[in-house]
Amino acid sequence: MRNVISLQDVSFRFPDDEMPVFEHVNFDVRAGERVVITGPSGCGKSSLLYLLNRLYPENCDGIVSGTVELFEQPASMYVPGEINRRIATVFQDPDSQFCMQTVEEELAFTLENMKVPAAEINARIQKVLKETGLESFRESVIQTLSGGQKQRVATACAWVLEPEILLLDEPLTHLDPVTAQDFVKWLKHLHEKGNLTVIAIDHQVDMWGDFFDREWQMVSGKHLEPALIREPLRSGEVAIDAKELAVEPIVSPAAFTLKKGEIAVLAGPNGSGKSTLIKALCGLKSTGGSVSPERIGYVPQSPEFLFITKSVREELSFGGGSGIDEVLKRLYLDEVSESNPFAVSHGQKRRTAIGAMLCDGRPVITMDEPTAGQDAAALRELENLIIARANEGVTFLIATHDMTFADRIADSLLLLCAGELSGPYLPQTVWKNHELLERHHLLAPSGGESCDQPHESFG
């Protein structure tokens, strides 16, 4: 098999930075191969992907040394946009690649940009919607969809180009566990059908089963800290008292309480209303009900929405918080502490937003998918910081699809399906209850049992 990608002694840096993002990289991929790229958050995995689709260096004035060949030709020989007919990309943040209002319009826009004849566009759209299980979303407004649904739309926009190579940056991050399994099965079918070459970045390789032919690691200098001991949850003081909290028609009236120092995880299928419920709890979106207290911290799924300063350090100190240097170090942000928060990696952006809220001193903190884009070392430190704060009396409500993470930190689980909230449950009760796992499209931490009829199959 010929090499479709070949990097020889490649280094890359941004023009304003003295240190390279990565250096002396040698990386070859054969036609039809399936490769996963792993490594610590911030080591340059996404930047490497952007060299392969020619987004870099032209669109960032980046400085590249070494040899980059695509389809056995120097990458510099391709005019802007030319290579994207053959190499399609699904970015880590799906919102960053949408231009149009509806799913149909986005797919049409993608095809029009590639100068597909107008007479062929409708048939191509129908075909890709069927293959990706998105037929019912054809007329949906993209910004009303959940993070997982947006990720599936972004994948459809890449696949509609009928590429030879598919680049995926953390594609399972916003998918519930069962949908993630369906996605991998669907991608495997596409590979077998058309000898598609797949290069993916992912920290959770075990979720892919036997999909990849090989794993390619970028260098990690981090070590895994020991897990912090969780102190027994004290009964007594109520930290959150939500009564008839609703966002019709997405979330039906829900009532729940959380105790001081409790770590609760909110789980459920894509589109079930988890992000909406958290926003309602924080007073950002509600059509009814009441919440006490009112001073609740919020880390959104897209952390950039929180940033208002010019450096990572300033973000952590903006609210007058304390322990900034310790949190910077423990979240592996000290090396980028003076960097603009918009310019760091996705994993670092998320940890910056989390760090800012941990330093802010709020008694209750909510987080939406905090584990996305985190390597094992950063994830362990995040878990330890959450547990340490909870041991001090801070209460957490965390929406996540990562049930291994949930199993390590959660005192209780709240489950949401089609806008209906149930619980709280003890985590071990949920892991052993096939009905609950099936209804909420979850898998137990060890792999567990999936539902017999996967929802919204990918084909």
DSSP per-residue letters across 39-66: --TTSSHHHHHHHHTT-TTTTTT-EEEE
Of the pLDDT bands very low, low, confident and very high (cuts 50, 70, 90), residue 181 is confident
Is 238-440 CATH 3.40.50.300?
yes
What does the DSSP assignment read for 151-216?
A: HHHHHHHHHTT--SEEEEESTTTTS-HHHHHHHHHHHHHHHHHH--EEEEE-S-GGGGTT--SEEE
DSSP 3-state of 284: coil
Please tell me the pTM assigned to this model: 0.76
> Which candidate, 262, 297, 274, 277, places its Cα nearest to that of 409?
262
Ranges of each domain in the chain: 3-217, 238-440
Q: Using CA atoms, how far apart are residues 106 and 129, in angstroms rounded to an integer?
A: 12
Of the pLDDT bands very low, low, confident and very high (cuts 50, 70, 90), residue 314 is very high
pLDDT in tens, 100-136: 999 999 999 999 988 889 999 999 999 989 888 889 9
CATH class, range 3-217? alpha beta
The amino acid present at 128, given as its one-letter code, is V
Instruction: With a cut of 90, say whether residue 147 has pLDDT above it.
Output: no
Instruction: With a cut of 90, say whether residue 335 has pLDDT above it.
Output: no
pLDDT at residue 143, as a whole number: 87
Residue scoring higher pLDDT (247 or 455)? 247
Average pLDDT over residues 58-70: 88
pLDDT at residue 174, as a whole number: 78
Contact 159, 190 (CB under 8 A): yes
Query: Is there a common fold for 3-217 and 238-440?
Result: yes
State percent of the chain over pLDDT 70.
93
pLDDT at residue 449, as a whole number: 40
Instruction: With a cut of 90, say whether residue 66 has pLDDT above it.
Output: yes
